[in-house]
């Protein structure tokens, strides 16, 4: 009897599962008929059952009392991942939250297929972190979560290499996978030879869509909450700059749940007493007090997407903070905000080619994967590096899980 392996793309922003039945890849619709679901959880304040995916997002949008969390993958390999926190009336670690999320995926996959899964092939970025020790710790953290979720045999595969397997039908010759996800950017050079994919090199860096969101939030939205402003001194003359840390945390998806601490509330209250622009700091106090951080992050993400589509009159709608409040964002201001992230992407692609021992002219096709590969700076940098290559789009949100399923095909 064939032993089936569950292919799992546990992503920073979205997740998906699939299985290879021996003849073809079968994506498993684990949420409302969709092939993917948001990597998000919600713990109701009344201590009800944890919700994942779109129901978690809906609970946040509808203003239900509770704790919303997203981008948990970004915290793998850090001390914060194992630090107990009070979440919906109970102390839990983020490791327990991720374990519960993966266990839910496994239960749903088994219910949809009628199969029992004890083996998992999980995608992972080439580098969770730039530091090798922290990178290894992140994989062990994730392995521990899979084991806690009921899997007994867990293997990992680099996400761009999985995407290369899925791209086999798209291209021939030598290709470059450009996989820009929510938390990392990953690259693989591959060659299709006699119908088989051979990986020549893989590389990656910790930069992704959530970093784009953070940059846009800091440059466009946070100034309306007092970022960049000044405070009067308690004693003496002169002004002090408004502290930066609270804004960085509020602009970082993975850190938003932890900004609602008593210490932060006291800090913001003191900032308000000394604010030169009390109205702006008052908005910040409302965001912290009413826990509107994720609503703001979704608004920033929506504005970013609109500006990336070419709209010059897009806005980050912040009316939930103050009636009529909005931050203008257009293609030009988005480009200016993200300009500093072009060089790391370009250098990472160049390094991948160097590791493969190839020049840009040897690349026949650039295959774009991941939701954030839709960003204009990604496509333009790939085109500038490999102007003679065809630019192809794989299934942005499912190429990795498809490739994982191909790699786990039963013997």
Query: Which tokens hold the place of 116?
Result: 């029992």
CATH numbers and ranges of domains, the chain: 5-170+396-407 (3.30.420.40), 211-339 (no CATH)
Separation between Cα atoms, residue 208 and residue 336, nearest integer Å: 17
Contact in structure between 117 and 6 (CB atoms under 8 Å): yes
Dihedral sign for Cα atoms in the order 46, 141, 57, 287: positive
**Of the candidates 171, 216, 180, 190, the residue with the CA atom closest to the CA atom of residue 330:** 216
CB count, 10 Å around CB of 258? 17
Separation between Cα atoms, residue 155 and residue 23, nearest integer Å: 22
β-strands 40-44, 66-70 pairing: antiparallel
pLDDT at position 85: 87
β-strands 40-44, 51-52 pairing: antiparallel
pLDDT at position 117: 96
Contact in structure between 49 and 109 (CB atoms under 8 Å): no
Q: What share of the chain is helix, strand, coil (3-state, %, to 5)?
A: 45, 25, 30
Give the residues of the chain that fall short of pLDDT 70: 1-2
If you search the block for the tokens 């915290």, which residue do you land on? 75
pLDDT at position 34: 86
pLDDT at position 343: 96
pLDDT at position 2: 60
Residues 6+ apart with CB under 8 A from 23: none
pLDDT tens digits for range 272-297: 999 999 999 999 999 999 999 999 99
Contact in structure between 19 and 46 (CB atoms under 8 Å): no
pLDDT at position 140: 98
pLDDT at position 250: 98
**Of the candidates 198, 199, 197, 180, the residue with the CA atom closest to the CA atom of residue 188:** 199
Contact in structure between 365 and 176 (CB atoms under 8 Å): yes
pLDDT at position 313: 84
pLDDT at position 237: 83
The most distant pair of C-alpha atoms in the chain lies apart, rounded to whole Å, by: 80
The total number of residues written for the chain in this structure: 411
């Amino acid at each position: 009897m064939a032993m089936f392996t569950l292919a799992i793309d546990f992503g920073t922003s979205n997740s998906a599962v699939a299985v290879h039945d021996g003849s073809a890849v079968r994506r498993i619709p684990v949420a409302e008929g969709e092939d993917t679901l948001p990597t998000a959880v919600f713990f109701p304040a009344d201590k009800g059952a944890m919700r994942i995916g779109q129901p978690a997002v809906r609970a946040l949008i509808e203003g239900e009392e509770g704790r919303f969390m997203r981008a948990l993958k970004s915290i793998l390999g850090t001390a914060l991942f194992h630090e107990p926190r009070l979440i919906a009336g109970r102390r839990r670690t983020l490791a327990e939250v991720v374990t519960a999320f993966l266990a839910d995926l496994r239960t749903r996959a088994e219910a949809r297929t009628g199969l029992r899964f004890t083996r998992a092939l999980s995608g992972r970025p080439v580098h969770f972190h730039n530091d090798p020790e922290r990178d290894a710790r992140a994989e062990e953290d994730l392995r521990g979560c899979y084991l806690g979720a009921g899997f007994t045999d867990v293997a990992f595969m680099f996400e761009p290499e999985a995407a290369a397997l899925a791209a086999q039908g798209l291209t021939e010759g030598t290709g470059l996978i450009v996989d820009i996800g929510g938390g990392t950017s990953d690259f693989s050079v591959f060659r299709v030879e006699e119908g088989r994919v051979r990986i020549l090199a893989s590389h990656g860096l910790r930069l992704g869509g959530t970093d784009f969101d953070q940059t846009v939030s800091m440059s466009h939205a946070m100034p309306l909450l007092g970022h960049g402003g000044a405070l009067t001194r308690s004693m003496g003359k002169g002004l002090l700059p408004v502290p930066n840390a609270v804004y960085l945390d509020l602009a970082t998806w993975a850190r938003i749940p932890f900004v609602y601490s008593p210490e932060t509330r006291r800090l913001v209250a003191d900032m308000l007493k000394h604010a030169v622009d009390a109205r702006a700091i008052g908005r910040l106090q409302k965001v912290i007090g009413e826990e509107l951080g994720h609503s703001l992050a979704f608004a920033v993400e929506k504005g970013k997407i609109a500006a990336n589509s070419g709209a010059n009159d897009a806005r980050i709608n912040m009316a939930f903070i103050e009636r009529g409040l909005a931050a203008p964002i257009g293609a030009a201001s988005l480009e200016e905000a993200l300009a500093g992230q072009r060089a790391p992407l370009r250098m990472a692609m160049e390094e991948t080619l160097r590791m493969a021992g190839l020049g840009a002219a040897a690349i026949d096709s650039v295959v774009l994967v991941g939701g954030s590969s839709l960003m204009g700076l990604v496509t333009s940098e790939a085109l500038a590096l490999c102007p003679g290559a065809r630019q192809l789009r794989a299934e942005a949100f499912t190429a990795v899980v498809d490739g994982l399923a191909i790699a786990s095909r039963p013997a």
